[in-house]
Chain A
Amino acid sequence: MITYEWLYWLAGAFFAVWATLSLRDRLFGNAAFWGLLAGSFFIGSHLPDFINGVLVLALVAIAGLGGLKRSQPATSSSAERDLLSSKLGNKLFIPALIVPVMAVAGTLLYNYTPLHETGLFEARRETLILFGIGVCVALVAAIVWLRPPALAAAEEGRRLIDSIGWAAILPQMLAALGAVFALAGVGDIIGGAAGSAIPEGSIFLTVVVFALGMALFTMIMGNAFAAFPVMAAAIGIPLLVETYDGNPAVIGAVGMLAGFCGTLLTPMAANFNIVPAALLELKDQNAVIRQQIGTAIPLWVCNVIIIYVGAFLLWN
């Protein structure tokens, strides 16, 4: 059975290559950072929690002390790219499309045909595993077709990962922060505070506090999944469903979407908001959030209205 552990070995190999190439360029901070990450992928499953924690602190120390530098591996000039682009034509899109097609078509094929009975992939992990397979196929296809110099693929990958820099592990780090928040009981404190902020007797204002709590707590945690159980337990179920007799399906579904509006507004949702700014090499790391504010706020208002109308006015 193919499990996540296989993917970790694959990713570990990629990061180890980037660490080695950084070493060759005498970028020692980069080499240490990507090397530690490679180590985490290779043997993280077999290390005690405390050693993994020390590894996290070491990664953060390197990034925090400015140890990660932009690298400048040799690449093609923009004139060469124009020339290659017209020579190679639209076929250039094919390797780029292999990965999503493999992940999506593969997942559908695997789940809706007897293939899943083979148990080839670890349960519920098939999409990411197929993504990994798709990357390998696309990489081999591109190398066979384009015949680049031996290290070109690795060096181009390093150019991109170094332009992303520390932001590359921020989403994973935020997930770890969420776990510590949960351990410290932050959710219960917030839920209690939100629950006590409710004006009595007004269904509409209770809906507003519920939706606002979802959005704000999502902004703090960086994802609505952490906020939902807390807000549902504090307000959604005891007040909106039980006291005011609202439609639970609407309160649950649209409450979650009110949280998604918060996701659009927070640097804590790094993989959606901060990583793309780094990927697109924007000067302002909050540029993507700035473009989302004007959509998120009116949409949040729509969600409040949808809950109020759908769960109460139409339901009772």
Chain B
Amino acid sequence: MNYWPLLGIALVVVGFALRFNPLLVVVGAAVATGLLAGFDFVVVVEALGKAFNDNRYISVTWIILPVIGLLERHGLQQRARAVIESVRGATMGKLLVIYLLFRQLTAALGMKDIGGHPQAVRPLVAPMAEAAAEKSHGKLAEDDREKVLAMSAATDNVGLFFGEDIFFAIASILLIQGVFESYGYPLTPLELSVWAIPTAICAFIIHSWRITALDRRLARVRQEVLEGGAA
């Protein structure tokens, strides 16, 4: 067997690690992989062009940006913060755990398009989480602020990934069904999707614990700052 095409994978790993422009890394790896597998340069460029063209639907979602931008111009992020500041007892931990549960449940019901990074995380969830964290811990240091924002995005991902497979009519379930059927194991989507439930519960427990751990850590940092100030 020709193992040379694996060099393309190595290129991706090294390129990402050395922080080259990811587009350059990806296309460089694609061309290298194709050539090492023995294809002509023209064939590789054609394959790349066809696949890029077939996947244009992925980049269509950016058309939402003018709506989000226009609302941000009129204070959407400030509004999201104000809502959280007005809720008594709101903490970043509670907020993100509730969002995690909401995202998992709606995805499990097939509504995976509620939420998402451009639509929900940037304009709403992240500013709310930051406001809640500042409400309980005071002004955040820049590194801590970035952790809170990144945790908001991470929570959206975890909620989506470990909720969506409970819904039986989703692409990944249909793919599993298709693969097993082609080997002579007919399964129903429902048989598969019930087995997504144990993992969904584990994901909720583990990620909730991590969210609250971050909240507790921020409280500790705050405590140290206060004690340092007093001494």
Q: Give which listed residue, B8, B22, B151, B176, contacts A186 with CB less than 8 A.
A: B8
Smallest CB separation, B39 vs chain A (Å):
7
> Across the interface, do B65 and A160 meet the contact criterion of CB distance under 8 Å?
yes
Given A92-B75, A257-B196, A37 and B59 contact (CB-CB distance below 8 Å) = yes
> Across the interface, do A173 and B66 meet the contact criterion of CB distance under 8 Å?
no
Given A166-B22, A172-B58, A252 and B176 contact (CB-CB distance below 8 Å) = yes
Collect the chain B residues with CB atoms within 8 Å of residue A108's CB: 110
Q: From B13, which residue of chain A is reached at the shortest CB distance?
A: A220
B69 close to chain A: CB less than 8 A: yes
Pick from B87-95, B198-206, B218-226 the stretch touching chain A: B198-206
> Across the interface, do B66 and A139 meet the contact criterion of CB distance under 8 Å?
yes
Given A64-B24, A161-B62, A277-B153, A180 and B57 contact (CB-CB distance below 8 Å) = no
Binding site for A on B (CB under 8 A): 1-3, 5-6, 8-9, 12, 16, 21-24, 26-27, 29-30, 33-34, 36-37, 39, 42, 44-79, 82-83, 110-111, 113-124, 126, 146-147, 149-154, 156-158, 161-162, 165, 171-173, 175-177, 179-180, 183, 185, 187, 191-193, 195-196, 198-199, 202-203, 206-207, 210
Known A-B contacts: A135-B64, A156-B66, A302-B206. Give 14 more (CB < 8 A). Answer: A49-B47, A53-B50, A80-B75, A93-B79, A148-B70, A148-B74, A153-B67, A168-B59, A172-B59, A175-B58, A179-B50, A248-B185, A256-B165, A264-B161
Collect the chain B residues with CB atoms within 8 Å of residue A303's CB: 199, 202
> Across the interface, do A128 and B60 meet the contact criterion of CB distance under 8 Å?
yes
- A275→B59 CA distance, assembly (Å): 12
> Across the interface, do A172 and B183 meet the contact criterion of CB distance under 8 Å?
no
A115 close to chain B: CB less than 8 A: no
> Across the interface, do B176 and A310 meet the contact criterion of CB distance under 8 Å?
no
> Across the interface, do B1 and A189 meet the contact criterion of CB distance under 8 Å?
yes
A contacts with B, residue count (CB < 8 A): 144
> Across the interface, do B30 and A153 meet the contact criterion of CB distance under 8 Å?
no
Chain A CB within 10 Å — which of B50, B113, B117, B162 has the most? Answer: B113
Question: Interface of chain A, helix or strand or loop or mixed?
Answer: helix
Q: Give which listed residue, A59, A186, A283, contacts B9 with CB less than 8 A.
A: A186
Interface CB pairs A-B, < 8 A, 20: A47-B49, A53-B45, A53-B48, A53-B50, A85-B82, A89-B79, A104-B111, A148-B73, A166-B22, A173-B23, A180-B48, A181-B5, A190-B6, A248-B185, A250-B195, A257-B196, A279-B118, A287-B150, A291-B147, A302-B202
Q: From B43, which residue of chain A is reached at the shortest CB distance?
A: A183
- A66→B77 CA distance, assembly (Å): 30
Collect the chain A residues with CB atoms within 8 Å of residue B69's CB: 153, 155-157, 159-160
Given A160-B68, A183-B39, A291-B154, A92 and B82 contact (CB-CB distance below 8 Å) = no
Chain A CB within 10 Å — which of B5, B34, B187 has the most? Answer: B5
Q: From B153, which residue of chain A is reached at the shortest CB distance?
A: A276
Collect the chain B residues with CB atoms within 8 Å of residue A248's CB: 180, 185, 187
> Across the interface, do B179 and A229 meet the contact criterion of CB distance under 8 Å?
yes
> Across the interface, do A99 and B150 meet the contact criterion of CB distance under 8 Å?
no
> Across the interface, do B74 and A96 meet the contact criterion of CB distance under 8 Å?
no
> Across the interface, do A8 and B60 meet the contact criterion of CB distance under 8 Å?
yes
- How does the 8 Å CB contact mask read for A145-177 relative to B, with 1 for contact and 0 for none? 010100011111101110010111111111111
